[in-house]
Chain A
């Protein structure tokens, strides 16, 4: 604050700005973008471990399989789902459609809700939720 000497008006600051859905969705888009940046490191580490061999693969799989690993993986799933859905919304808005404030607010809320539903659905159907495996993805034997 003290180092700011420019007297010209600044853009509205988040701390004095009333929260609304389009603002939340915009901030979430950026946050999940950075989240995906971190998440892809995990995906590439998994690929790399596959190429290197079981000595690296097994410890990494164990780490991802732990409680913290699963929490991070679900957060990454949520992050990807939201960024993808809201990214689609951005592409539509870039084309000049859906910009009316009321509708933009609706689609912003929709993207947030659908992302949560999609992430839970992926984990449910993929058999990643402990004890639940509707499509028998893990195989009956294991």
Chain B
């Protein structure tokens, strides 16, 4: 890109680096970065999880108590919740035109993801550290 490209963006717009959505490419990039993480984390999580479910309650306890599994679970669930919050945000923005409803659903989406993460983190830490 040595040649300057013709553009419709103003000089100020270029400096701020933000598009019409007022937050630049941050959402787009975060969605992809979490996706790349999940390509590795989800298969690892699934394979270890399937083994754990076999052993009933004691098997589940032993699975979560293992330090490597505990970190894997937190990483996989953390990345998944972040990724799905971004995804659901786009779904709401696409289909809900009414401003009030949209705002309520976007806030609810954030709350649901944070509550789910708190529950998962509590569960993993309690079993792994106890």
The verdict on A48 contacting B120 (CB below 8 Å), with A126-B50, A139-B54 known, is yes
Determine which of A50, A91, A122 lies in contact with B64 in the assembled complex, contact meaning CB atoms within 8 Å: A50
A84–B39 CB distance below 8 A: yes
Give Cα A61 to B56, complex, Å. Answer: 8
Give Cα A37 to B105, complex, Å. Answer: 14
Contact with B along A76-111 (1 / 0, CB 8 A): 000010001001101100100000000000000000
Q: What's the interface size class on A, roughly?
A: 20 to 34
B87–A37 CB distance below 8 A: yes
Closest chain B CB from A52 CB (angstroms): 8
The verdict on A94 contacting B32 (CB below 8 Å), with A34-B91, A40-B116, A51-B127 known, is yes
Give Cα A57 to B122, complex, Å. Answer: 16
B80 at the interface (CB under 8 A from A): yes
Which A residues are CB-close (under 8 A) to B81? Answer: 40
Which B residues are CB-close (under 8 A) to A48? Answer: 119-120, 122-123
Which A residues are CB-close (under 8 A) to B60? Answer: 46, 50, 57
Closest chain B CB from A65 CB (angstroms): 10
B91–A91 CB distance below 8 A: no
Closest chain A CB from B126 CB (angstroms): 4
Give Cα A91 to B123, complex, Å. Answer: 32
Determine which of B39, B50, B57, B119 lies in contact with A44 in the assembled complex, contact meaning CB atoms within 8 Å: B119
B126–A51 CB distance below 8 A: yes
Which B residues are CB-close (under 8 A) to A127? Answer: 54
Which B residues are CB-close (under 8 A) to A41? Answer: 116
Known: A36-B80, A40-B81, A91-B36. 4 other contacts (CB 8 A): A48-B123, A57-B57, A90-B35, A94-B32
A residues in contact (CB < 8 Å) with B:
30, 33-34, 36-37, 40-41, 43-44, 46-48, 50-52, 54, 57-58, 61, 80, 84, 87-88, 90-91, 94, 122, 126-128, 137-139
